[in-house]
Chain A
Amino acid sequence: MLRRLLLLWWIGCLASVCYGADLRIAVDADPISLDPHEQLSEAGIQYSHAVFDPLVRWRQDGTFEPRLASSWERLDQRTLRLHLRDDVTFHSGNRMDADDVLFTMDRLKLSTDFKGLFNVVQNVDKIDDYTVDIHTTDLYPLLLNSLAYVFVIDKAFYQGRAEIIKFGQTFAAKNVSGSGPFQVKQRIAGQKLVLERNPHYWDKSSRGNLKQLELITIRSDSTRLAALLTGDVDVISPVAPIDIARVQSTPDINFLALTGTRIVMLQLNQARRVEFQDIRVRKAMNLAINQALIVEKILRGYGEAAGQLSADAFAGHLSTLLPESDLAKAKQLMAEAGYEQGFRISMMAPNNRYMSDERVAQAAAAMLEKINIRVDLKTFPKAQYFQLFDQRAADVMMLGWQSDTFDSNNIFEFILACRDQQSGLGAYNSGGFCDALIDQGITLANNEMKPEQRERILQGIEAHVAAQALVIPLYWQPIIWAAKAHVNLASVVNFLNFPYWGDLEVRE
């Protein structure tokens, strides 16, 4: 039997180009739908990069790489011209042209999850079959960041049945025609997604040689790890910090950890606690918490201790802002503020949302105890936690924030801006503060087209937040993958955690 299979394999190899192996990847979540525009989640975007193509995409160094748009130029301050590739066919066999891009943009503006990224797009004009102009309502420096989320879909295939319904069955949720390196072969919701190579893929320069890709959902950290150690799967992510040592001591396993850009922080609610309105108390709390120790002990040295919100890859990052911890100074500040005896506060954190979130919260609570701030910590599963977060239910709330645009201003808009139900600004600001200076900076940065000046504005906000100790940044959560030795993960996994599986070359 085995011999016959081997023979068949050999014949297959001789007949065509001998395409590489199959790859089985175990991850902790699966896309909720085959529709790329239904949910903006990490699993959804990872899927979209395999089955669809974006107009542009990020390189590992943070610059943009042409994909379905082969080049672009600014016509004026508010217009970007895109030149599209003319050699792209969808899985259905239809050719891609400007109409598909227009169709996709219209659809994205109807998607609950994605429309926020495209509010600024006023209209898209078709110039010819392979040229489109994108007009924005205002000056907008991050248009390319948004275009990296435009996964173009097949107009002829979806037209007339393209509705997006969050809680209902749609055509697009079950049927798919993209242009990406893989086609969907089989999906068992919640269990696995089997993709096979698209033989007509336009990108001939890609070195990717995966014949089949199986994305398997394994929720439990230890089961996922066991599946890799037993060889039942080839790649896993994430790896729990507690298991890192185990993975590294296994000889034929490759381990890859990158510093991500998701910032995990504690927010101090000044509207709930008068004590937090005193800058000395906020500073003392910042100094009492030892970020480096949390990273070292709980995240086992992966991830990066943070003294600000913007990760190194973001425009607003200030390399001079380092996490500080000084217990003596913290105690002194508390005494100056008249809180030598301390006080009691409530704190809430999720227990299944961020890496080791519960343990981090416990450690932070213990550190605050040292300056006599007694913490009543409650942790909840994420489903309940974010309801409580919306209610601002405790004095200190834990939050991790991943900027969708991979830019500082997105963090500032959601976390630091004054809370405004209408515009949605400050939706995750549970600090209860409203700082006009920050809001001005956010608006300025949104309309500043010169990168250097924009960077200065964003860094200014970052410096202001640190000086005022408005939040307690903890760390940037690591992105951790592990794979069998023959899989060169570093070539496809990036700081965005959107691996481009289509480009993965596996040598036997």
Chain B
Amino acid sequence: MLRFIGRRLLQAMFVLLIISVISFMIQDKLGDPVQQMVGQSVPQQDRLALQQDLGLNDPLLVQYGRFLGRALQGDLGTSYYYKEATLDIILSRLPATLELSFSALVLVILLATPLGVVAAIHPKSLLSRAILIFSTLGLSVPIFIVAVFLMYFFAIEWRLLPSFGRGETTWVMGLWQSGLFNKDGLLHLLLPSFSLAFVLTPMFIRLIRAEMIDALQSEYIRYAWSKGISASRIYFVHALKNTMLPVITVAGIQVGTLVAYTILTESIFQWPGMGLLFMEAVTRVDVPLISAYLMVVGVIFVVTNTVVDLVYSLVNPRVRLPGYGS
């Protein structure tokens, strides 16, 4: 187990190194950060002087070396706009994004599991067909359309839900500011998390359905039927448990999609999380913040994939992870 995690840590380092190189190579293409921070009338000389002060005129390799040196000491740079350590800013926005993704995932599980199972058990019924049509629709409609529609009806037309932001937040054990523990915060959470869930649910419905149909035709299920085990036990314990393996794998991979979609969702609902932070950093050419964001996302990827692998071997003890155990 320790060897496995150690190996993953090494991989993570490698991933971060590559991300940092890439984020450095693109910064030239993003625009001039100085121009974003000064008024229109500031003469070019002064702008050049500021660029010089920031070290933007040094060769890329020198800049990268400087960045790497500081990064090794845990300093990922200072945001041009916020003027604070980039990591601190991202960590302060992280809870908002995690809460949004978490609620979306809960919604996905709550929606996709029963729908997928129903669609597998009665593949020919009207309900199953409806579910499949819904999932095709969900797969093909882009998220911003879903989000804008939801906002239009629930916020503007019916005035049921707030249209933007996180609402009221409370401190949870002094650790992070949460919107999960009061009514206002939860109301604000509904629209964004539904929009996010809407994109991911259809894929999971299809996946669970396909795996479930497969499982239901296998030998051990027929054997279970012939033993006279109750239907609900067969469906939900014997069959569903075995469909979970691929679902967990895909879920792990989909974390990436989730991160990408939080950028869109957060921009639409002005949700003060990491995604919105990133969008704004791009428009402001806040290069240190962009690099730091990409690296944090890289860490999130590696961590979730490691967790997925660990969970995988818990769910299915037959799986042997390289470097795991003896």
Residues of A that sit less than 8 Å from B by CB: 32, 39-41, 112-114, 116-117, 166-169, 173, 188-191, 216, 218-220, 222-223, 226-227, 229-232, 352, 381-387, 390, 401-402, 404, 414, 421, 424, 427-428
Asked if B53 is at the interface (CB within 8 A of a chain A CB), the reply is: yes
Asked if B284 is at the interface (CB within 8 A of a chain A CB), the reply is: yes
A383 lies within 8 A of B36 (CB)? yes
Distance of B292 from chain A, by nearest CB (Å): 15
Given A189-B82, A226-B156, A387-B31 in contact, is the A219-B280 Cβ separation under 8 Å?
yes
A189 lies within 8 A of B163 (CB)? no
A116 lies within 8 A of B37 (CB)? no
B50 lies within 8 A of A231 (CB)? no
Distance of B164 from chain A, by nearest CB (Å): 5
Residues from chain A with Cβ under 8 Å of B35 in the complex: 383, 386-387
Given contacts A112-B50, A190-B280, A383-B33, 7 further A-B pairs with CB under 8 A are A40-B41, A169-B84, A230-B163, A382-B31, A384-B31, A390-B44, A401-B40
Distance of A354 from chain B, by nearest CB (Å): 12
User: What CA separation (Å) do A381 and B42 show in the bound complex?
Assistant: 20
A226 lies within 8 A of B37 (CB)? no
B32 lies within 8 A of A386 (CB)? yes
User: What CA separation (Å) do A465 and B91 show in the bound complex?
Assistant: 54
CB neighbors of A among B265-282 (8 A): 267-270, 272, 277, 279-280
Which 3 pairs from chain A and chain B are nearest by CB? Answer: A383-B31, A40-B39, A424-B43
Which of B29, B164, B269, B285 has most A Cβ within 10 Å? B164
Distance of B5 from chain A, by nearest CB (Å): 36
User: What CA separation (Å) do A241 and B87 show in the bound complex?
Assistant: 38
Q: Which residue of A lies closest to B89 (CB)?
A: A189
B31 lies within 8 A of A232 (CB)? no
A168 lies within 8 A of B83 (CB)? yes
B43 lies within 8 A of A223 (CB)? no
Q: Out of B45, B81, B267, which one reaches A421, CB within 8 Å?
A: B45
Given A383-B32, A421-B45 in contact, is the A230-B162 Cβ separation under 8 Å?
yes
Interface size range on B against A: 35 or more
Residues from chain B with Cβ under 8 Å of A424 in the complex: 41, 43-45
Residues from chain A with Cβ under 8 Å of B78 in the complex: 167-168
B148 lies within 8 A of A427 (CB)? no
User: What CA separation (Å) do A129 and B223 show in the bound complex?
Assistant: 100
Given A220-B267, A226-B164, A383-B35 in contact, is the A167-B54 Cβ separation under 8 Å?
yes
Q: Which residue of B lies closest to A169 (CB)?
A: B83
Interface code B72-104, partner A: CB below 8 Å = 1, 0 otherwise?
Answer: 000000101111100000000000000000000
Distance of B296 from chain A, by nearest CB (Å): 17
Residues from chain B with Cβ under 8 Å of A168 in the complex: 78, 83
Residues from chain A with Cβ under 8 Å of B43 in the complex: 116, 424, 427
B285 lies within 8 A of A383 (CB)? yes
User: What CA separation (Å) do A385 and B36 show in the bound complex?
Assistant: 11
Residues from chain A with Cβ under 8 Å of B53 in the complex: 167
Asked if B46 is at the interface (CB within 8 A of a chain A CB), the reply is: yes
Given A32-B37, A40-B39, A41-B39 in contact, is the A383-B283 Cβ separation under 8 Å?
yes
CB neighbors of A among B16-55 (8 A): 29-46, 50, 53-54
B270 lies within 8 A of A116 (CB)? no
Given A173-B83, A191-B272, A223-B164 in contact, is the A39-B280 Cβ separation under 8 Å?
no
User: What CA separation (Å) do A386 and B29 show in the bound complex?
Assistant: 13
Asked if B12 is at the interface (CB within 8 A of a chain A CB), the reply is: no
Distance of B75 from chain A, by nearest CB (Å): 14
Which of B29, B37, B53, B279 has most A Cβ within 10 Å? B37
A232 lies within 8 A of B82 (CB)? no
A383 lies within 8 A of B284 (CB)? yes
A116 lies within 8 A of B42 (CB)? yes
Q: Out of A113, A401, A421, which one reaches B39, CB within 8 Å?
A: A113
Distance of B41 from chain A, by nearest CB (Å): 5
Asked if B294 is at the interface (CB within 8 A of a chain A CB), the reply is: no
Asked if B151 is at the interface (CB within 8 A of a chain A CB), the reply is: yes
Distance of A325 from chain B, by nearest CB (Å): 29
Distance of A238 from chain B, by nearest CB (Å): 16
- Can you show 15 pairs from A to B with CB atoms below 8 A apart? A114-B39, A166-B38, A216-B165, A219-B270, A222-B268, A223-B163, A227-B163, A230-B162, A381-B31, A383-B284, A384-B31, A386-B31, A402-B40, A424-B45, A427-B41
A387 lies within 8 A of B32 (CB)? yes
Asked if B155 is at the interface (CB within 8 A of a chain A CB), the reply is: yes
Asked if B159 is at the interface (CB within 8 A of a chain A CB), the reply is: yes
Q: Which residue of B lies closest to A191 (CB)?
A: B272
Distance of B49 from chain A, by nearest CB (Å): 9
User: What CA separation (Å) do A229 and B42 show in the bound complex?
Assistant: 38
Distance of A89 from chain B, by nearest CB (Å): 30
B81 lies within 8 A of A32 (CB)? yes
Residues from chain B with Cβ under 8 Å of A404 in the complex: 39-41
User: What CA separation (Å) do A424 and B270 show in the bound complex?
Assistant: 39
User: What CA separation (Å) do A427 and B83 show in the bound complex?
Assistant: 29
User: What CA separation (Å) do A469 and B155 show in the bound complex?
Assistant: 50
Q: Out of B40, B41, B80, B151, which one reaches A226, CB within 8 Å?
A: B151
User: What CA separation (Å) do A191 and B166 show in the bound complex?
Assistant: 11
User: What CA separation (Å) do A149 and B36 show in the bound complex?
Assistant: 21
Q: Out of B50, B84, B270, B272, which one reaches A166, CB within 8 Å?
A: B50
Distance of B271 from chain A, by nearest CB (Å): 10
User: What CA separation (Å) do A385 and B30 show in the bound complex?
Assistant: 10
User: What CA separation (Å) do A230 and B148 show in the bound complex?
Assistant: 14
User: What CA separation (Å) do A50 and B253 show in the bound complex?
Assistant: 49
A222 lies within 8 A of B148 (CB)? yes
Residues from chain B with Cβ under 8 Å of A166 in the complex: 34, 37-38, 50
A219 lies within 8 A of B37 (CB)? no
Q: Out of B46, B163, B280, which one reaches A232, CB within 8 Å?
A: B163
Which of A169, A230, A421 has most B Cβ within 10 Å? A230
Distance of A340 from chain B, by nearest CB (Å): 39
Given A230-B162, A230-B163, A383-B31 in contact, is the A223-B268 Cβ separation under 8 Å?
yes
CB neighbors of A among B123-146 (8 A): none
Residues from chain B with Cβ under 8 Å of A169 in the complex: 83-84
User: What CA separation (Å) do A39 and B267 show in the bound complex?
Assistant: 25
Q: Which residue of A lies closest to B39 (CB)?
A: A40
User: What CA separation (Å) do A382 and B285 show in the bound complex?
Assistant: 10
User: What CA separation (Å) do A38 and B41 show in the bound complex?
Assistant: 13
Distance of A398 from chain B, by nearest CB (Å): 14
User: What CA separation (Å) do A383 and B282 show in the bound complex?
Assistant: 9
A427 lies within 8 A of B44 (CB)? yes
A189 lies within 8 A of B156 (CB)? no
User: What CA separation (Å) do A218 and B165 show in the bound complex?
Assistant: 9
Q: Which residue of B lies closest to A26 (CB)?
A: B164
User: What CA separation (Å) do A116 and B43 show in the bound complex?
Assistant: 9
Distance of B165 from chain A, by nearest CB (Å): 8
B283 lies within 8 A of A352 (CB)? yes
B83 lies within 8 A of A220 (CB)? no
Distance of A352 from chain B, by nearest CB (Å): 7
